[in-house]
């Protein structure tokens, strides 16, 4: 059979699973394909036989290609054989193990690729039959390697002369490959460096061990800093004696620069630790980015504590980044996921690989805001994204730390405030109780014990309200839709004053922490009762926080504000003079002998903890009307 004749190939396909091979071979004009079901049917005229090795499935029995190989070898010992492994991954073996076994048992070509690689299947079968003509000679292959390999490859003799090099090595010294042969490092490099390399290579040959991953820095002839990674190994003659070295050098300048930038980001991020507040953290972040070439434009937008709106930290130089992508900043924050904005800014996707040359990456930093980066005219590549993620993580940690410090500061302030209140306000009733206890020892009159009991009651009242104050700065718990009527009923039952009448009008539901809402209402009810009612008596500047107490009944009305964005609590007492209405919410403010000055302060702090505001005005009955707004009533 001549090379011009079609290559006769027989495929042994007992169940159709050799179909990808058959289909591929039939696309080749120079291959004649025959398909049989058993090895016994293989004709001696075939130049190559393709066997199937396949696992058991629901619809097929297992096919043992190696058993067929034995039978074929017995019948046709000179025939070339290719073994096709179908769905090897589902067997109790691996592709590599299957290939090793095929080679060990004399198979000319092990084939495992699918039918989507028909050209490769054809070439492998031709290779098994000895018809593959695309392989080059050893010298041609070596020349191809040395001309095409993108890194430096070199072979030296025992005294450091270049025996062979890659084209890339020669070009580094502005020579051709053949011109570099016979030269040494002494003709190419400064002599002190050539000495180091010579001694290094002599040590490698003496030790008989390779040198791997040696990273070296140098300055090239254009004055640029460069880094290379070098590996060298000794080479030996037939007797095992060292006769030189073989080596490779790869330029790792880009990797080292990236490594240095990552280190610079980490080191610069230490400045974030010293930043005092959110604004300063944002400004430090922008300043860090300005020193990192891969992060030319960075804009941090943080949540406004009042309105929950994102606002850029640096509104001057970098604001244009936020202004251009404001919509996507908001969306990244709302979703809590990084978005990559397209070059025209018209769209954003959550996967970097899905973005067509993304112009910006917007990375949420927890519940604080969004870290945005853009390269200006270029695109956000993978390395820029890595740097941005590192810096964004450090920014988030810094913001978390600043928030914890602010909370700790607030807690310390509450402790100081609490200590001040305790030391000041409990001293007076303690003094009264102590004095009358001394009198009672000498003269146990009932009036002395009444005074002691009154002082103790006063201390109990103070203690209850002080405990409330100690918790006032804590965030409200989980909020739910609370029926205002239910909260009013609970608060009324808690106050328990006989002369208090509570009426409600059109109460809806309020999004609130139930216990704190009840606590707010209790304090307003108690305030109305403690300061009494004096129907028809005009309010004066001396009647602040409800003037004087008496035994008249007090009526309190609770209803929703006209705009539906809050509720009110109104009483029919003497009211509060307009000049005193701001002062009544100050801690410790009272004009009553029995008042603590904490009730309305507690009301204010509970309202603020919910994000509400509270104000006092005059009720229809001439008393006080407290309006709690921004607490939407439905």
| SS3 at position 256 | helix
Single out the residue of 358, 376, 356, 352 nearest to residue 289, CA to CA: 376
Cβ atoms within 10 Å of 100's Cβ, excluding its own: 13
Q: Does residue 571 sit in the same domain as residue 487? A: yes
Residues 217 and 84 in one domain: no
Beta carbons within 8 Å of 460's beta carbon, 6+ residues apart: none
Domain presence at residue 78: yes
pTM score of the predicted model: 0.46
Residues 6+ apart with CB under 8 A from 519: 468, 491, 602, 606
pLDDT of residue 356: 73
Of 468, 501, 531, which residue constitutes the final position of a domain?
468
pLDDT single digits (tens) 376-397: 666 787 778 888 888 888 888 8
125: nearest Cα among 106, 105, 110: 110
The predicted model gives 112-133 an average pLDDT of 90
Is residue 133 assigned to a domain? Answer: no
Residues 266 and 340 in one domain: yes
- Residue 631 above 70 pLDDT? no
Of 239-243, 429-433, 438-442, 594-598, where does mean pLDDT reach its minimum?
594-598
Residue 489: CB atoms within 10 A of its CB come to: 15
The last residue of a domain, from among 233, 251, 269: 251
| Each residue's pLDDT tens digit, 551-567 | 578 899 999 988 778 89
pLDDT at 585: 84
Question: What is the pLDDT, as a whole number, of residue 544?
Answer: 38
The predicted model gives 35-59 an average pLDDT of: 94
* Pair 204, 268 in one domain: no
Query: Is residue 229 domain-shared with residue 361, that is, in the same domain?
Result: no
Higher-confidence position of 309 and 549: 309
Predicted local distance difference test score (pLDDT) of residue 181: 94
Cα-based angle 225, 229, 230 (whole degrees, multiple of 5)? 125
Give the domain-ending residue among 355, 375, 396: 396
Per-residue pLDDT reduced to its tens digit, 395-430:
888 888 888 888 788 777 766 766 665 565 566 577
Residue 17 lies in a domain: yes
Phi, psi for residue 237 in degrees, rounded to 5? -85, -175
Triad 303, 335, 268: Cα angle to 5°: 55
What range defines the domain where residue 514 resides? 476-629
Q: Give the Cα separation of 614 and 627 in Å (integer).
A: 6
3 state SS of 153: strand
386 and 459 part of one domain: no
CA atoms within 13 A on the CB side of 204: 26
Q: Does a structural domain hold residue 314? A: yes
pLDDT at 428: 57
Write down the pLDDT at residue 168.
93
More confident: 281 or 195: 195
Residue 536 in any domain: the answer is: yes
Residue 510 counted as domain residue: yes
* Least confident span in 117-126, 166-175, 472-481, 497-506: 472-481
In a domain, 419, yes or no: no
* 624 lies in the same domain as 485: yes
User: What is the average pLDDT value for the chain, to the nearest integer?
Assistant: 83
pLDDT higher than 80, residue 110:
yes
Convert the pLDDT of each residue in 9-28 to its tens digit: 999 999 999 999 999 999 99
In a domain, 114, yes or no: yes
Distance CA 97, CA 87 (A): 14
- Per-residue pLDDT at 536: 36
Same domain? For 267 and 355 the reply is: yes
Alpha-carbon span 17 to 459, nearest angstrom? 92
CATH of the domain at 540: 3.30.565.10
Contact 128, 110 (CB under 8 A): no
| CA proximity to 614, closest of 527, 505, 501 | 527
Calculate what percentage of the chain has a pLDDT beyond 70.
Answer: 85
Torsion of CA 570, 576, 577, 581, to 10 degrees: -90
Same domain, 108 and 209: no
Confidence of residue 470 (pLDDT cuts 50, 70, 90): low
Contact 390, 285 (CB under 8 A): no
Q: For the domain that residue 164 is a member of, what is the CATH number?
A: 3.30.450.20
Within this chain, do residues 285 and 343 fall inside the same structural domain, yes or no? yes
Within 534-619, residue ranges assigned H as helices are 599-609
- Please name the residue ranges forming H helices in 61-117: 65-75, 95-104
Other beta carbons less than 10 A from residue 544's beta carbon? 21
Q: Give me 379's structure tokens.
A: 């695109």
**205 and 319: one domain?**
no
> Does one domain contain both 294 and 237?
no
Q: How many domains does the chain have?
A: 5
Mean pLDDT of 268-276: 76
């Amino acid at each position: 059979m001549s090379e011009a004749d079609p290559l006769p190939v027989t495929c042994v396909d007992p169940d159709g699973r050799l179909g990808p091979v058959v289909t591929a071979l039939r696309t080749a004009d120079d291959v004649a394909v025959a398909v049989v079901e058993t090895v016994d049917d293989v004709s001696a005229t075939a130049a190559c036989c393709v066997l199937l090795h396949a696992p058991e499935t629901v619809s097929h029995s297992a096919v043992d290609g190696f058993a067929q190989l034995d039978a074929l070898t017995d019948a046709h010992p000179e025939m070339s054989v290719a073994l096709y492994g179908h769905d090897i991954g589902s067997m109790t073996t691996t592709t590599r193990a299957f290939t090793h076994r095929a080679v060990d048992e004399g198979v000319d070509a092990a084939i495992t690729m699918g039918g989507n690689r028909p050209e490769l299947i054809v070439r492998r079968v031709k290779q098994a039959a000895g018809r593959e003509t695309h392989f080059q000679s050893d010298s041609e292959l070596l020349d191809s390697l040395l001309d095409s390999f993108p890194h430096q490859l070199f072979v030296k003799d025992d005294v450091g002369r270049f025996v062979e090099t890659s084209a890339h090595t020669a070009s580094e010294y502005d020579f051709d490959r053949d011109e570099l042969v016979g030269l040494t490092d002494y003709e190419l490099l400064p002599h002190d460096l050539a000495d180091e390399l010579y001694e290094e290579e002599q040590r490698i040959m003496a030790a008989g061990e390779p040198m791997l991953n040696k990273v070296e820095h140098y300055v090239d002839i254009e004055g640029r800093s460069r880094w290379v990674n070098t590996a060298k190994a000794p080479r030996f003659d037939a007797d095992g004696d060292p006769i030189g070295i073989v080596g490779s050098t790869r330029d790792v300048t880009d990797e080292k620069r990236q490594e240095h930038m990552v280190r610079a980001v980490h080191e610069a991020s230490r400045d974030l630790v010293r930043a005092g507040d959110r604004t300063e953290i944002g400004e430090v972040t922008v300043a860090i980015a300005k020193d990192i070439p891969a992060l030319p434009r960075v804009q941090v937008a943080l949540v406004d504590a009042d309105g929950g709106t994102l606002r850029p930290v640096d509104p001057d130089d970098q604001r244009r980044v936020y202004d251009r992508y404001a919509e996507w900043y908001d969306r990244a924050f709302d979703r809590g996921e990084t978005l990559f904005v397209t070059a025209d800014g018209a769209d954003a996707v959550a996967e970097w690989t899905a973005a067509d040359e993304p112009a910006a990456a917007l990375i949420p930093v927890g519940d604080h805001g969004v870290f945005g980066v853009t390269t200006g005219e270029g695109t956000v590549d993978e390395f820029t994204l890595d740097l941005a993620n590192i810096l964004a993580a450090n920014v988030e940690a810094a913001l978390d730390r600043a928030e914890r410090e602010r909370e700790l500061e607030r807690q310390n302030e509450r402790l100081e405030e609490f200590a001040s209140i305790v030391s000041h306000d409990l001293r007076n009733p303690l003094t009264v109780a102590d004095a009358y206890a001394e009198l009672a020892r000498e003269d146990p009159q009932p009036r002395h014990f009444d005074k002691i009991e009154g002082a103790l009651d006063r201390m109990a009242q103070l203690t209850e309200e002080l405990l409330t104050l100690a918790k006032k700065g804590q965030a409200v718990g989980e909020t739910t839709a609370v029926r205002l009527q239910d909260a009013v009923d609970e608060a009324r039952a808690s106050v328990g004053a006989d002369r208090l009448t509570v009426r409600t009008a059109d109460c809806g539901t309020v999004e609130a922490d139930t216990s704190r809402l009840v606590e707010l209402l209790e304090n307003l009810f108690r305030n109305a009762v403690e300061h009494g009612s004096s129907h028809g008596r005009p309010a004066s500047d001396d009647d602040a926080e409800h003037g004087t107490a008496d035994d008249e009944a007090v009526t309190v009305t609770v209803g929703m504000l006209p705009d539906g964005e809050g509720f009110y609590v109104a009483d029919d007492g003497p009211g509060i003079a307009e000049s005193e209405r701001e002062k009544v919410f100050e801690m410790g403010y009272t004009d009553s002998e029995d008042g603590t000055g904490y009730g309305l302060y507690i009301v204010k702090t509970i309202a603020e903890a919910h994000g509400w505001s509270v104000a006092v005005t005059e009720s229809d009955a001439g008393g006080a009307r407290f309006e709690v707004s921004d607490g939407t009533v439905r």
